[in-house]
Structure 1
Amino acid sequence: MDDYEHIGLDGSDLDEILSAPAEATERLALLSLDEACDVLRLLVSVQQEGGPLSRDADRLAKAIAVRIPSEN
C-alpha cells in the first residue's frame, strides 16, 4: 500500500476507519458537492486499477454515487 504510507494507512487501518461507530461519523463535516464528486472520481480510478483497495473503492463509490444528485 505504498500510496497510503504518507498518511499512515494500511489495510487494517482502512478497515477500522470504514467500520467507525456511528457516533464517530456524526462528527464528520459534510462534503461539498464538488468535494464529493472529486472523491467519487478518485474511488472510481482506484477501483479501475484493480489493486488491493479496488473492492472497498467500488463499494464506497457506489455508496457516494447514490447520494450525488444527477446533473439533469
Structure 2
Amino acid sequence: MTTILDLAPVLGEITGSVQSGLAAIGAGLGIGLIGAKAAEATGRNPGASGAILTLSIILAALVEGAFFVAALVK
C-alpha cells in the first residue's frame, strides 16, 4: 500500500504532462483547421478576405486561450 501512495506524486506529474501534450495537440489541430478553412474561404470569395482574416485571428486567439488554460491547470 505504501508503494502506491509513494507513486501518487509521480503519477500526478505524468498525467499533468499528458494533459498538456494533448492540449498542445488539440490547439495545433484547431489552429491548423482555422488556417485551412480561412484559406479556402478566401479562395472562394477574395473580396471578403479582410473579414475572414479578422475572424480567423479571433478564433485562433480563442483556441490559444483554451490551450493556456489547459496548460495552467496542470
Give the TM-score band, short-chain normalised. Answer: 0.3 to 0.5
- Larger-Rg structure: 2
Pick 1 or 2: higher relative contact order, CA cutoff 8 A, min separation 6: 2
From the two aligned structures, give the one with the greater helix fraction: 2
**Structure 2 length as normaliser, TM-score?**
0.34
